[in-house]
Each structure stands twice: as C-alpha cells, then as structure tokens.
Structure 1
Amino acid sequence: MIRELKEQDKEQFISMVDAFYHSEAVLHSIPKEYILNTFNEVISGSPYAKVYIFEEQGEIAGYGQISLTYSNEAGGMAVWIEELYILEKFRGLGLGSSFLNFIKEKYASKAKRLRLEICESNKAAEKLYLRKGFTSLDYKQMLYDINL
C-alpha cells in the first residue's frame, strides 16, 4: 500500500531519511534538522512537496518524496522524484516499481514530465529507472546554497 505521510510516521520517517542519506545512493549526508524541516513542510500541507509511505503487510517498508515544479522545457508541471528509499528487508518486492507506477498514474493528467537524479554508482536504481521508461538527460547540474 502507498499512502501519504502522517504525523504518527514522524520517527520512522526521520530514521529512513537518515539511513537514505548515509547510503551509497547519495553523495553526502544532511543534518537531521533538514529532515525535520521536510517533515514539517509536508505535514503542513505544502503544495510543493509530498511524501508517500510504503507499507507491506502492515509494516512501514519505505518512502518516496516528490517535489512539484513548472518546466518550460517540459511544457508544464514536472514531478521531481527526490528520494526513493526501501528498507533492506523489503527490497526486491517491487515496491520501487509500484511507487513509480503510482506517481505516473497520479500525475498522468497533471504533469508533463517525471524527473530524477541518481549517483553514477547507483546501478541498481539506474536499472530500475531504465526499465520503467526513464532516459538519460545529459545536463550537468549546478547549485548554489542560500544561507539564510
């Protein structure tokens, strides 16, 4: 089952995000304060960020986080799949595929593009995304962190 994040998921969500940011799927960790900020933003009903919880046999099995933006290049709304994490004991059950299918269906009439990024070393994720129809986008990403 895939459902929206709830207040009572707080501790498990924080634990999973922390595990994600200490895995090979990312380039570096983040402060726990950032995770709490995300939780609060999503719980408060942000129109820009959504978190979905995956359940398997009544247990929380993972999560997916998306962000919504508008893209001239895509000609409409773009859904960024920011994070996809599945607890070790639930991997290989098709939960990642189910989440991607869920997002494709949920945003089929609203969005023009699904977009994500992966680390070069994350070959398992790349294999999943290619199998689900994603293609490579040969942009070099850059960022500027604003310290407020």
Structure 2
Amino acid sequence: MLDYNLVSSLATYRMPEPEDIPQLVDMVERFHAETRTGLHVGQPEVLATLKELNQHRRSGSWFVFEMGEEVVGYCLIANRWDNGLGGAVLHVDELYVMPGRRGRGIAADFLGLLAKVAPGDAAAIRFELPAANRRAQGLLRRLGYGESTERAMSLPLRGT
C-alpha cells in the first residue's frame, strides 16, 4: 500500500534493501526482547514477511529508518479493512528505534508523515501496545492518538 520512500529533514523512511537484512533481523529481535512478546522472531520470519509484502503490496509496508547513512529503526505496518470504519486500518505491528537514537523525534516524525501520506481509503492508524510501555503511550497521546475501547484477544493457530 505504501511502497515509496518518505523523506523529512530528520530522516529518510524507505523500503528495506537486501543489505539491510542482518541489521533488520537484529532490530526485530531487540524489539521482541524489549517488549517481552515471548516470540522468537528471527531471519526466517523477517524474510517471510518481506516476501509477503513484496508479493502482496496491499498487505502492508515495512520501512527502514535512516539518518544519513545509518539505519536507526524500522516500522512494520499490516493493513486490513474495517467495516465499521469504512476503510483500511494501517495497523502498526512493530515500531522500533535503536536505543541510542530514541528521544530525538524519529518515531513522531515518521508517524506524522505516515498520517499525511496515508492512502485515500485509510480510515485509521492503529497500535497495540503493552500496558507497561508508558513512554510509547505518552508519545502517541501527544500525537493525537486516543485509547481504544476494544480489547485484542488472539488464538494461536501455530506453535511459536
């Protein structure tokens, strides 16, 4: 759905290149360790996700965050249609900024650009966050995101 680069004065947000894979895998592993998802997500999962997104562009987007020549984070977005909202929901599945680059406005910058360039059929941008992640909740509130009245529940269909 979003398959083009976003550029601001702070950073470039672009599609992953093959040479990004090792660092992307490292950041994905860090994301899951820091957020305590209990999932082991490594190279096979990252490659499968990239393949899915390349073959089915409307499924979502993966952005690499780059400052100068340095990769400093990423965002994985999964798209789905919402009947009640009457449009596509851009579900931020993962958003990660390297520890040494946090607090510099990179996530806010990206999310602001995402809201501006969202496809015409997009009705919302949605996050699911661990309740303990107060820092991310504060950022999202400052950006105008509100609490959802919905509670997500899931049934695993495969072993993890």
TM > 0.5 between the two? yes
The change in CA–CA distance for 1:84 and 1:5 in structure 2 (over 3 A counts) is: same
For structure 1, which segment, 136-145 or 55-64, has the greater mean C-alpha deviation from structure 2 after superposition? 136-145
- Classify the secondary structure of the residue corresponding to 1:138: coil
Question: C-alpha distance in 1, partners of 2:81/2:90?
Answer: 9
Q: Deviations over 1:48-100 (max 9, x none)?
A: 02100111121000001101110012111111011110001111111000110
- Root mean square deviation of aligned Cα: 1.7
2:117 to 98, 106, 109: 106
Matches within 5 A, 1:112-131: 112-131=123-142
Task: Calculate the TM-score normalised by the size of structure 1.
Answer: 0.90
Name the residue aligned to 2:47: 36
Which runs of no fewer than 5 residues in structure 1 stay unpaired? none
Aligned length: 147
Give the secondary-structure state (helix, strand or coil) at the position aligned to 1:112: strand
Extract unaligned runs of 5+ from structure 2: 1-11
Amino acid at match of 1:101: G
When the two structures are superposed, what TM-score results if normalisation uses the length of structure 2? 0.84
Query: 1:1-148 maps to which residues of 2 (within 5 A)?
Result: 1-23=12-34, 25-32=35-42, 33-44=44-55, 46-107=57-118, 109-147=120-158
- Residue 110 of structure 1, CA deviation: 2.9
Conserved in 1, the CA contact under 8 Å of 2:32 and 2:41? no
Q: What is the distance in 1 between the residues matched to 2:124 and 2:118?
A: 9
